[in-house]
Structure 1
Amino acid sequence: MQVGPLSIDDDELVERFVRASGPGGQNVNKVATAVELRFDVARSPSLTEAVRARLLAKRDRRMTAEGVLVLSAQRFRTQERNREDARERLAAFIDSGLRAPTPRIATRPTRASKERRLGEKRGRASVKQGRSGRGWE
């Protein structure tokens, strides 16, 4: 499998075919069309250290504590289409780790933004002051 400049061997991917949930009639009960694709990000020899660190640093619920990415694909009715879908999503996930995020350049707030913020703050203060229990006699 080719992802940008990286090439991932098929033996690094573990595919398991399970029954899909949801509507589909008898086909759902008989045929294992859903695909569960596992890719060990933490121990993959195909990934560089920088890419591996970026992918493991992501707070992704599909990533296990051991660093294994588990993708479940059951969008389509055929096993082959679900398999392609899982592989495309894996490629997109790895592709997101290939590019290093651009560092943020610190900037100072403008005078107008400071004045807007302080004006809104004064307005909120006056609204809250008007809520106090004085003058209800």
Structure 2
Amino acid sequence: MLFITPRISIDEAELTENFVRSSGAGGQNVNKVSTAVELRFSIFENLTIPYDVKMRLIKLAGRRVTQEGVLVLFVQTHRTQDMNRKAARERFVELLQKAAAPPPPPRIATKPTRGAVKRRLVGKAIRATVKSGRKAPSLDDE
């Protein structure tokens, strides 16, 4: 069992792991050993995750969710299969924990106070007089 929150846990049997060959540099080892991990999890087949958490998970995961609702995490950061497997599970748990966290409350728009508006306008007027004092004298002043 993977424990996400006190209320949400996922049976490891629901996770499907495929081991494939990593891309990139690594010498002959890359050509011989399947160290990269592709972790798959069907979001809609799971019954322990609440619906709102599933929707936030889909939004957070973005392109990592297929049209069928399967979350796919591909990890090839380490050189060993075991380390990549652990990293994939850690990423999966982190993603689910973010989705399970309650969303922030909506922001309530406020108006500036009358005093704040007055201070801003006074500051602008002072700045305008300073800048107008920097102008070159015009021909009309002579």
Residue aligning to 1:93: 95
Q: Provide the secondary structure at the position in 2 that maps to 1:81.
A: helix
Q: Does 1:67 align with 2:69?
A: yes
Q: 2:46 aligns with which of 35, 44, 47?
A: 44
Q: Does 1:35 align with 2:46?
A: no
CA distance in 1, matches of 2:109, 2:48: 39
CA distance in 1, matches of 2:27, 2:82: 19
RMSD: 2.2
What's the offset of the Cα at 1:54? 2.0
**TM-score (norm: length of structure 1):** 0.76
- Superposed CA offset, 1:78-119 (max 9, x none): 000000000000001100111121222312242657x58xx7
Question: How many residues are aligned here?
Answer: 118
Task: Answer with 32-41 or 93-102: which moved more.
Answer: 93-102
Alignment check: 8 A CA contact 1:42 1:67 kept: yes
CA distance in 2, matches of 1:46, 1:12: 11
Change beyond 3 A, Cα 1:60–1:108: same
What's the offset of the Cα at 1:59? 6.0
Alignment check: 8 A CA contact 1:19 1:34 kept: yes
Alignment check: 8 A CA contact 2:61 2:71 kept: no
Larger radius of gyration: 2
What's the offset of the Cα at 1:56? 2.5
CA distance in 2, matches of 1:104, 1:66: 31
2:4 is aligned with what amino acid?
Answer: V
**TM-score (norm: length of structure 2):** 0.74
Alignment of 1:1-137 (within 5 A): 1-5=2-6, 6-58=8-60, 60-110=62-112, 112=116
Task: Answer with 41-50 or 79-88: which moved more.
Answer: 41-50
Alignment check: 8 A CA contact 1:42 1:56 kept: no
Change beyond 3 A, Cα 1:18–1:7: same
What's the offset of the Cα at 1:50? 2.4
